[in-house]
Amino acid sequence: MIGETARPIDLGPMPLGRTMVTVDERLVRAPLPTIFELAKRVEGWPEHLSHYRYVRFREHRSDGGGLVEMSAYRPFDPFRVSKAPLQLNWPTWWLSEMAVNRAAPCIRFRHVGGITKGMEVEWAFSSVPDGTHVRILHVWDGPRIPVLGTWAATHLIGPVFVHGIASRTLAGLSAAAERAAQKQQ
């Protein structure tokens, strides 16, 4: 494992023109530093997010990023039973390079392992009058499977898995940040 004195990973700007684009955004009624700190401390996500199985750093970098292994469940209610939902949890796993930019402020990920290898992710934060606007952008060309890769990325992986997990992640971290902001008042 590389120590925290290792230089940050340079992921550069988000690439444009990818086949799959998913956006999840939300107004978080908490100051930017509060939600930014929660978001950048990815190893603590399972404490706030029941759908996360684990988050483990394989390498730490001086900016708070590094090489991070993540696993989450994508819950499904396959029968759409309204009174007593049967929830099935589909396990997912990926390995990402992570960079933290406090000045921007944003957090960048590039998936380097798992079915979503090559996916680029950006968490962007901006102060607004009622708190913080958080936007999660995922872009990707899909798995390298002729013909099916693009279809899978745009019709299944992006809207069902990426959005399904990212929207829950953003909602859970938002709730944790809002609780923390309430305690600070």
Kindly report, residue by residue over 24-59, the tens digit of the pLDDT: 999 999 999 999 999 999 999 999 999 999 999 999
Q: What residues have CB less than 8 Å from 71, skipping those under 6 apart? A: 52, 53, 54, 55, 91, 92, 93, 94
What the chain holds in terms of domains, given with CATH numbers, is: 20-78+85-184 (3.30.530.20)
70-95 pLDDT, tens digit per residue, is 999 887 665 555 555 666 788 899 99
Please tell me whether the overall predicted TM-score, pTM, comes out greater than 0.95 for this model. no
